[in-house]
Amino acid sequence: MPVAFLFLMRRSIRESSMKYWIICLMVFVLTGCGGGDDTSITVEQEVYANVVALGDASGDEAMFQAAFVSGAVPENRQDYGKYAYEVDGTAEINGDEATVPVKIIGGIFSTQGGDSSSKKKTDEKSETKMTWKLQREGEEWKLKEAPLPG
């Protein structure tokens, strides 16, 4: 008799434990794991990302062309890899066009050659402020005008 009692007791504990975990799982599924914050990217963030990523995009012909609107791709792609780009203020966004103040920083390592022997440091650091223009093409923001210093 005690063996049967222990068996039934163990089964009852296991079933109630299982019910407990199922209820906990349902609570987590129904409530989610975080707040209701919107994690979508803003228009400003999209515009800024295109500016700061241009130095990296210059290392690949296809990526560089994809960063610009049709017909606006500069021929001096290699020159864009000699600089770093930083948003220097607030973008003005009007419909499908944006104007962004950009700080262009020279005097960084050029990595366009691929191996360490071709990486060279320019003599001195320079900072130039320019204004770049972007345009929305479909759902994507792309550079329309991205002048370099000099």
Pairing assessment for the beta strands 97-106 and 84-87 based on DSSP bridges: antiparallel
pLDDT in tens, 93-135: 999 999 999 999 998 655 555 554 444 455 578 999 999 999 9
Hey, which of 12-16, 54-58, 105-109 has the most confident mean pLDDT? 54-58
**Is the pLDDT higher at 85 or at 34?**
85
pLDDT at 99: 97
pLDDT score recorded for residue 135: 97
Backbone Cα Rg of the chain: 28
Beta bridge partners of 145: 133
Domain 43-145: give its CATH code.
Answer: 3.10.450.540
Tell me the average pLDDT across 32-39. Answer: 62
Q: Using alpha carbons only, what angle is made at residue 60 by residues 59 and 65, rounded to the nearest 5 degrees?
A: 115
Query: Structural domain boundaries of the chain?
Result: 1-31, 43-145
pTM, two decimal places: 0.66
What H or E segment, with its residue span, contains residue 50?
A: helix 43-52
